[in-house]
Chain A
């Protein structure tokens, strides 16, 4: 297993368009997290799944954002009607319950630019 994979690495979109990102976690990890990071800031929590169940969503996650993890494996994050304020790095991480000594393993992120 090569770690957490995110696709695409970069996405440029016009304001008002919809975008979808994919995350493939480490296969034996049952928890998957989405974070957003803007320049000079630490990652901000968006949502997380345990297996296929979405257990928590941040207040930051407006109704334009939706995340799924249909079979408890990969996950998608969709942003509808993108706005310039959505420009950020979107990070995915995975862990086993409790994180433990391994912490969360992060992917390299998808950098979104809304023009």
Chain B
């Protein structure tokens, strides 16, 4: 069964303190690994899709990387506006996304 595990559950950073979020997965036939950002009371907002081991994508202070077993979301010099829940999801042989439980990030000024 396809499964996604995210760690840590919660992370508190000082503004400018870089860190990484982890997403471990097991999936039959990975078709894509997705990162989303979710603000309280809103739907998830798409960030990145990664398709194969070794792939990397960047957007502003965020960089996502992928191996055969896990993905990392690196946050460089975060700002308070980066505070949100970050969700990881995989798409396997079926068309649905399987989500992890997310990492709640709080960036303090």
Binding site for B on A (CB under 8 A): 4, 31, 33, 40-45, 48, 55-56, 91, 93, 97-109, 111
Contact = CB atoms under 8 A, between A and B. Distances in A.
Contacts, number: 65
A104 B97 contact: yes
Nearest to B4: A42
B96 interface: yes
The 9 closest A-B pairs by CB, nearest first: A42-B99, A106-B43, A103-B46, A45-B96, A106-B44, A108-B43, A42-B101, A43-B99, A103-B34
A46 to B, nearest CB: 9
B34 A109 contact: no
A105 B45 CA distance: 7
Greatest chain A CB density within 10 A among B44, B101, B102 is at B44
B30 to A, nearest CB: 13
Given A33-B97, A43-B97, A102-B46, 4 more contacts: A42-B89, A98-B31, A103-B46, A106-B45
A56 B99 contact: no
B42 interface: yes
A63 B36 CA distance: 31
